[in-house]
Amino acid sequence: MKFLTLMDMDLENKRVLVRVDYNVPLKDGKVSDDTRLKATVPTINKLLEMNCKIILMSHLGRPKDEFEKGKSTEEVRKKLTLRPVAKKLSEILGIDVAFADDCIDIELPDSDITLLENLRLHEEEEKNDANFAKKLAGHAEIYVNDAFGASHRKHASVYAITKFLPSCAGFLVEKEIKELSKLLKPEKPFIAIIGGAKADKIGVIRTLLPKVDNMIIGGVLANTFLKSRGIDIKNSKFDEESLKFAEEFVNNKKVLLPVDFIAADKFNENAEAQEASASKIPNGWMIMDIGAKTIESYKEKLKNAKTVLWAGPLGVFEFSKFARGTREIAEFIASLDATTIIGGGDSAAAVQKFNLSDKMTHISTGGGASLEFIEKEGKLPGLTALEEARNKFKK
């Protein structure tokens, strides 16, 4: 990547606009997972060392979806405000983080660190609107992208903004690129575990299949693949959009699917559950986890791996009754003498839940961004924008 980093910039006493990814879960008006906040601390501390005035900006949730449900502007602002995030960040840093009630057309508080209100409350953000980006740029003298998790989006605060300010990558973005690049030319044997539900995994499966020694398919995606092979998955969840693509992988010997499961009579933590083979799922029941035989066969494939990518859980790990498959495979991966990379999202949540975070090589802060980075071999919109800005603003 040919873009500038924090270490290339003259930062002393500058006003610096930092795009972060604080799209974090909130519960009862409080941040329930502060992983993404903590991941930006190295960049923030560096800027504080250089006596910078720091203006942080982020999105939170999908306001557009809320408006489409008929909710008022006031209701959406109340639900998707970043104010609780500013409060939590203050606790993490041990200094006051001011909060601005909007992100444009405002007078900023006199504070060393200010967090702007949710960017997506303005539809211009997702439209990559140049005028909106120019207004954001008016807050500062330098722009820093430290939002790897948003860098696959061609949005104003990630893409268009780089046309208006000298721009560079923050420490978090640098680290993500360094670690995820290990997957572009992986040490062999290379095993990928791809789970989840959505069709957005199909592109990365296509990209990875020629590179991997084996690909383990899990979760709802595995149900979809099984259905494409003519197996009756009864009431199990599957993804209709992925189904039409799954057939192209039917005869690929690298692709490994579950052979047994834990099935349940309903999608509930307290559901009745039993072990079942692929051909003997009870009528009306659904797959919730992989079974014991599958767990052991996956461990056998993983034991000699030198590189492992894991993107998507193997079952409904949020329910303890159906967490065994995800937990045991996570623990096994953590024990390997290998490069182990967790592709953000639910996989990261699972690893954190089982207290294995410090035993993995890297846990990405961007689920979709990490997969797109692999699929497009590093060419994400937010990163290419930084490359173009280097040429425009170079000394």
- d(C-alpha 354, C-alpha 33), whole Å: 14
46 exposure class (CB count in 10 Å sphere: 0-12, 13-18, 19+): middle
* 366 CB burial (10 A radius; 0-12, 13-18, 19+): buried
Catalytic residue among 195, 291, 368, 382: 368
In the annotation, is 345 catalytic?
yes
Q: Give, in degrees to the nearest 5, the angle at Cα 191 between 208 and 242.
A: 50
Contact 99, 82 (CB under 8 A): yes
Q: What tokens were used for 308?
A: 């492992």
Neighbours of 27 (CB within 10 A): 9
Helix axes 41-49, 83-93, angle to 10 degrees: 70
CA-CA distance, 158 to 383, in Å (whole number)? Answer: 9
14 is catalytic: no
Per annotation, catalytic residue among 30, 64, 188, 198 = 198
End-to-end CA distance of the chain: 18
- Residue 140: half-sphere exposure toward Cβ, Cα within 13 Å: 33
| Residue tagged active-site, from 36, 120, 135, 390 | 36
Q: Which of 218, 325, 345, 382 is catalytic?
A: 345
Q: Which of 330, 339, 342 is nearest to 371 (CA)?
A: 342
Between the alpha carbon of residue 165 and those of residues 109, 125, 286, 386, the distances in Å are 21, 17, 53, 10
Question: Is 368 tagged catalytic?
Answer: yes
CA distance 311 to 208: 12
SS (H, E, C) 252-304: CCCEECCCEEEEECCCCCCCCEEEEECCCCCCCCEEEEECHHHHHHHHHHHCC
- What is the DSSP code (8-state) at residue 5? B
- Catalytic residue check, 229: no
C-alpha closest to that of 168 among 59, 34, 47 = 47
Neighbours of 179 (CB within 10 A): 16
Residues recognised as catalytic:
36, 198, 345, 368
